[in-house]
Amino acid sequence: MDVLWPGFLVLLGLIPLAIGMYIWMLRRRRRYAVRYSSLSLVRAAVPRRSWLRRHLPFALFAVALTSLVMALSRPVAIASVPYGQATIVLAIDVSLSMCSTDIEPNRLEAAQAAALSFIERQPRGTQIGLVAFAGFAEVIQPPTDDRDALRAAVEGLLVGYRTAIGSGILKSIDAIAEIDPNVAPSLSERDLARGAPRPMPVPRGAYAPAIIVLLTDGASNAGPAPLDAAQQAVERGLRVYTIGFGTERGSSSLRLCGAQVTGREPFPGGGQFFGGGMGGGGGRFRRGIDEETLKQVAALTDAQYYSAESAGELQQVFESLPTHLITKHETTEISVVFAGLGALLALLSITLSLAWQPLPS
Contact 345, 66 (CB under 8 A): no
Whether residue 101 is found in the same domain as residue 233 = yes
Query: pLDDT value at position 260?
Result: 39
Q: Is 48 a member of any domain?
A: yes
Nearest to 94 by CA among 78, 113, 111, 69: 111
Q: Is 232 a member of any domain?
A: yes
Query: pLDDT value at position 276?
Result: 35
Q: Backbone phi, then psi, for 241, in 5-degree steps?
A: -85, 130
Task: Please tell me which residue, 29 or 349, carries the higher pLDDT value.
Answer: 349
Length of the chain equals 361
CATH of the domain at 126: 3.40.50.410
Task: Please tell me which residue, 51 or 328, carries the higher pLDDT value.
Answer: 51
Whether residue 157 is found in the same domain as residue 253 = yes
Contact 83, 327 (CB under 8 A): yes
Query: pLDDT value at position 192?
Result: 84
Residue 336: count other Cβ atoms within 10 Å of its Cβ: 9
Q: Is 121 a member of any domain?
A: yes
State what percent of residues in the chain have pLDDT above 70: 74
- In tens, the pLDDT along 299-325 reads 999 999 999 999 999 999 999 988 765
Task: Please tell me which residue, 38 or 235, carries the higher pLDDT value.
Answer: 235
Query: pLDDT value at position 294?
Result: 96
Q: Is 278 a member of any domain?
A: yes
Query: pLDDT value at position 292?
Result: 94
Query: pLDDT value at position 286?
Result: 44
Q: Give the contacts of 125 (CB within 8 A, at least 6 positions apart).
A: 84, 85, 145
- Number of domains comprising the chain: 2
Whether residue 303 is found in the same domain as residue 161 = yes
Q: pLDDT class for 21, splitting at 50, 70, 90? A: confident
Q: Does the global pTM surpass 0.75?
A: no
Q: pLDDT class for 197, splitting at 50, 70, 90? A: confident
Q: How many CA atoms lie within 13 A of 252 on its CB side?
A: 0
- In tens, the pLDDT along 111-133 reads 999 999 999 998 888 899 999 99
Whether residue 107 is found in the same domain as residue 58 = no
State what percent of residues in the chain have pLDDT above 90: 38
Q: Is 307 a member of any domain?
A: yes
Query: pLDDT value at position 66?
Result: 84
Query: pLDDT value at position 198?
Result: 86
Whether residue 58 is found in the same domain as residue 88 = no
Q: Is 313 a member of any domain?
A: yes
Whether residue 209 is found in the same domain as residue 307 = yes
Q: Residues 71-99: what's their mean pLDDT?
A: 79
Whether residue 110 is found in the same domain as residue 142 = yes
Whether residue 284 is found in the same domain as residue 298 = yes
Q: Is 361 a member of any domain?
A: no
Q: Backbone phi, then psi, for 75, in 5-degree steps?
A: -70, 150
One-letter-per-residue 3-state SS of the chain:
CEECCHHHHHHHHHHHHHHHHHHHHHHHHHHCCCCCCCHHHHHHHCCCCCHHHHHHHHHHHHHHHHHHHHHHCCEEEEEEEECCCCEEEEEEECEHHHHCCCCCCCHHHHHHHHHHHHHHHCCCCCEEEEEEECCCEEEEEEEECCHHHHHHHHHCCCCECCCCHHHHHHHHHHHHHHHCCCCCCCCCHHHHHCCCCCCCCCCCCCCCCEEEEEEECECCCCCCCHHHHHHHHHHCCCEEEEEEECCCCCCCCCCCCCCCCCCCCCCCCCCCCCCCCCCCECCCCHHHCCHHHHHHHHHHCCCCEEEECCHHHHHHHHHHCCHHHCEEEEEEECHHHHHHHHHHHHHHHHHHHHHHCCCCC
Nearest-angstrom CA–CA distance, 166 and 192: 15
Q: How many CA atoms lie within 13 A of 270 on its CB side?
A: 2
- In tens, the pLDDT along 242-299 reads 999 988 766 555 556 654 333 333 443 333 443 333 334 443 434 478 999 999 999 9
Q: Is 304 a member of any domain?
A: yes
Domain that residue 113 falls in: 84-325
pLDDT at 11 > cutoff 60 = yes
Whether residue 179 is found in the same domain as residue 254 = yes
Whether residue 56 is found in the same domain as residue 91 = no
Whether residue 69 is found in the same domain as residue 101 = no
| β-strands 327-333, 75-82 pairing | antiparallel
pLDDT at 175 > cutoff 70 = yes
Task: Please tell me which residue, 163 or 331, carries the higher pLDDT value.
Answer: 163
Whether residue 53 is found in the same domain as residue 184 = no
- In tens, the pLDDT along 234-247 reads 999 999 999 999 88
